[in-house]
Each structure stands twice: as C-alpha cells, then as structure tokens.
Amino acid sequence: MKKELEAFLEYLKHEKNASPHTIVSYQRDLKQLAVYLEKKNISLKRTDNVVLRGFLATLYEKRNKKSTIARKLAAIRSFFQFCIRKRWLEDNPAKVVATPKQEKPVPSFLSEEDMEQFLDLPKTHRPLDLRDKSILELLYATGSRVSELVGINLEDINFEERLIRVRGKGKKERIVPFGKIAKESLAFYIRARSQIHKGEIDKNALFLNYRGDRITSRSVERVVDKYIRFSAMRRKISPHSLRHSFASHLLSRGADLRVIQELLGHESLATTQKYTHLDLKQLIDVYKKSHPRS
C-alpha cells in the first residue's frame, strides 16, 4: 500500500491543491489503515467492507471520537476512489460502510455585548499588543478562518475601499470587507509593525511573531486564549468562535444567509447554517414582524 499511498498524496498536493494540513491528516489516517492491514496480512486488493469495519471497530475500542472516525473513513473513501481511477482496484469497499452519526454541538460564540468587552483588550500601544488587537478585530470584522488570517499579506489590503483578499480552502480567493474600527486598528499596527523585531522581518506577511516571521495559526490561538483569560468571561472560546459570532451577529441584524455564505467562503449553504444562532426573543420578534397573522 506504500506505493499507492505516496501516489495519492502527490495527487492531493499537485492536482487537488489540498492544504498541507489536509495532506498530513490524510497521510496519518491512511498509514493507520496500512498498519492494520499489514498486521492482519491483508493486501489492498483483498480489502473489503468487512475488513474496513474491523478497522473502524478498533478505533471505537480505542475511544476515538465519532468525528475522528468519520474523518478517517472519508480519507479511506477518497483513497480507494483514487485507486479505482488508477485501475489498481475495481471497487470501493468504503462506499458501503456507514459513516458514524455525528453529535451536533452548538458552536461557541459571543453575544454582541461580550464581543465589545473582549475587543476592548488590549489597551497598550506596544507593538505586539497593537498586533494582537488588530488580529482580534480582523477575525471578527471579516469572519476569516485562522489559516486565512495568517496567510494575509500587506498587499492584500485595500485601505481606501476597506477590502481584504483572503485565501481559503483549496487556495480559493475571495474579497471580504472590513469596518472602520478594524481599519483603525490595522493602521495603528502597521505603523508599529517594523518595531516588533529589531532584525530582519518578513516583508510580505501582515502579521508577524516576535522574531519577525509570519505568525502561525497556533500563535493566533494563544493570542485569543490570552485575552479570554484577561477578560471577565470564563468560557471556552477559540478563534473560530469569533467566526461563529461574525455570522450570528450579521444574521441577527438582518443579513441574508447567502451573503453570509459568500463572506465565510462556504460552498454549501448548509455549512453556513450551523454558524448562525438566534435566541428565542429574536425568533419571536422576527415572527411578529413577518407573519401576516401574528
């Protein structure tokens, strides 16, 4: 299976333009299957749906989450489909293996009042604090994914029109507007950007770490964690929570769901719907304003 797996990973990288994160994830999941098949002395051609169910059973025994198992099964399906295209196999045994039913927890998000409090931090004008404030403002102003935020270059920002170019999944680009407050925060940061590191700095990247290199997704997560601790909120909030809040607040103020879909860079409207939240009072208000017999 080693040769087939290497060919599949090359296909993901060069033909599908998959992100490095996706490639590493697929590689890890499929290597786990390869180890299982080797232990059972089962070749790729002899792998059927019974064998795959046995593999998934071992994952359940190891207390893997349903979402993790579903992801691994999706990787296996894609791999077998690739093998069929290459005529190494005639059938995809993973197609008849049921995907585990997923729990659907409500994504964490902040109310508008909590968001105001959160974005009021930090308060100093030190270069790294200006960077942190700009990161938080831009995450909320654009609804960007962390991976998109860290990939932004200086040339991607149009200050005059208040527009920013972000690169989403599959290297797809989209243009997203941002507001006056985010613009002001960005301007303060960019003026102080060269002071973050005394030596040479990355000339292209918008957000830098203390060494002058492009900031990483993990560092952005640490920034959000830091200011959640500084605030009075005792909640589990991630950078993605700001994206959830962005979508929810737009919807509650009357934005069309398809507009939010475009801003978030979702291909499916169903994906956008899970990012939106309306409380009971909002639902009642909308009903009273909209229903002819309310």
Catalytically active residues are: 145, 169, 240, 243, 266, 275
Backbone angles phi, psi at 272, to 5 degrees: -65, -35
Residue 173's DSSP bridge partners are 167
3-state SS assignment for residue 174:
strand
Alpha carbon distance 136, 134 (integer Å): 6
Alpha carbon distance 168, 149 (integer Å): 10
Alpha carbon distance 125, 106 (integer Å): 36
User: Which residues in 89-110 are b (16+ Cβ under 10 Å) and which e?
Assistant: beebbbeebeebeeeeeebebb
3-state SS assignment for residue 133:
helix
Residue listed under structure tokens 């786990």: 32
Query: Helix, strand, coil shares of the chain as percentages rounded to 5?
Result: 60, 5, 35
Amino acid at 13: K
Contact assessment for residue 127 and residue 196, using Cβ atoms and an 8 Å cutoff: yes
